[in-house]
């Protein structure tokens, strides 16, 4: 976001977390690595996020150049979100987070299928 131009960081990971940190942004981005999604698709596969939070997170990701919003001029209106080329550069990081998460789930629960929802596994 443009308000960050004069920002100083103590370590570069702070800059990464400022853009993709928080509870929902990485989850949204992981879903978008599989292709364009409408807001309703994201809400369906992320049932615990509120509509207000989803909209806010998508707007912030768009402002940071990570996600692009595609508006189709039709009736009823249609909007889709996809990763930009810049956003796609996060894919190795997101994949590493998913891999670590699966290892952590197996360590804690013994079986990743015991805690992961079917709709997330089959997106």
Q: Would you kindly state where each structural domain of the chain is located, as residue ranges? A: 2-121
Encode pLDDT of 60-110 as tens digits.
Answer: 999 999 999 999 999 888 999 999 999 999 999 999 999 998 888 888 888
- CATH no. of 2-121: 1.10.10.10
Tell me the mean pLDDT in the region 47-65: 97
pLDDT band at 117 (very low <50, low <70, confident <90, very high): low
- How would you list the strands of the sheet with 37-38, edge to edge? 37-38, 78-83, 67-72
Whether the link from the prior residue into 93 is cis, omega within 30° of 0, is: no
Q: What is the pLDDT of residues 35-48, one digit of tens each?
A: 999 999 999 999 99
> What's the chain's length in residues?
123
CA distance 114 to 119: 13
- pLDDT at residue 109, rounded to an integer: 82
Q: Taking a C-beta distance cutoff of 8 angstroms, is the pair 96, 115 a contact?
A: no
């Amino acid at each position: 976001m443009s308000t960050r131009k004069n920002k100083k960081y103590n370590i570069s990971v702070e800059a990464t977390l400022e853009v993709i940190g928080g509870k929902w942004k990485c989850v949204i981005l992981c879903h978008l690595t599989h292709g364009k999604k409408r807001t309703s698709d994201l809400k369906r596969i992320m049932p615990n996020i509120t509509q207000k939070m989803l909209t806010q997170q998508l707007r912030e990701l768009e402002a940071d150049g990570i996600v692009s919003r595609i508006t189709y001029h039709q009736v009823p209106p249609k909007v889709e979100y996809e990763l930009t080329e810049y956003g796609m550069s996060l894919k190795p990081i997101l994949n590493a987070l998913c891999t670590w998460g699966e290892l952590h789930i197996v360590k804690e629960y013994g079986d990743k299928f015991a805690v992961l929802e079917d709709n997330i596994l089959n997106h």
